[in-house]
Amino acid sequence: MPSVTPRYKKESFDKMLRRFKNQCEKAGIVKRVREKQYYEKPNSIKHRKNQEQKRTLENNARKALALEMRRRQSRMR
């Protein structure tokens, strides 16, 4: 669990709160709480993950194609 102590004598509460929020975000606590806030059926979890993976693969293929096109254009010059 993230914890925050003052870095110097008169550090403001706002700065410490900001550091605490950043630590929680990096630890993945906020994301996990949002995921656990509502029940999601196992099948819908699987479906969502499959869709994310499909989208990632399509984006990677699109980026690779664009990179290849740029390389071909630079060779022609």
Q: Is 4 exposed, middle or buried (0-12, 13-18, 19+ CB in 10 A)?
A: middle
What is the rounded CA–CA span in Å between residue 61 and residue 77? 25
Residue 75 has what pLDDT? Answer: 86
Same domain, 9 and 24: yes
Same domain, 47 and 70: yes
Residue 27 has what pLDDT? Answer: 93
- Average pLDDT score over residue span 44-67: 97
**Where residue 8 falls among pLDDT bands split at 50, 70, 90?**
confident
Q: Is 23 exposed, middle or buried (0-12, 13-18, 19+ CB in 10 A)?
A: middle
Cβ–Cβ < 8 Å for 23, 4: yes
Same domain, 28 and 52: no
Count of domains for the chain: 2
Same domain, 34 and 6: yes
Provide the domain limits for residue 74: 40-77
7, pLDDT greater than 90: no
Mean per-residue pLDDT over the chain, rounded: 92
User: Model pTM?
Assistant: 0.55
Residue 53 has what pLDDT? Answer: 98
Cβ–Cβ < 8 Å for 3, 21: no
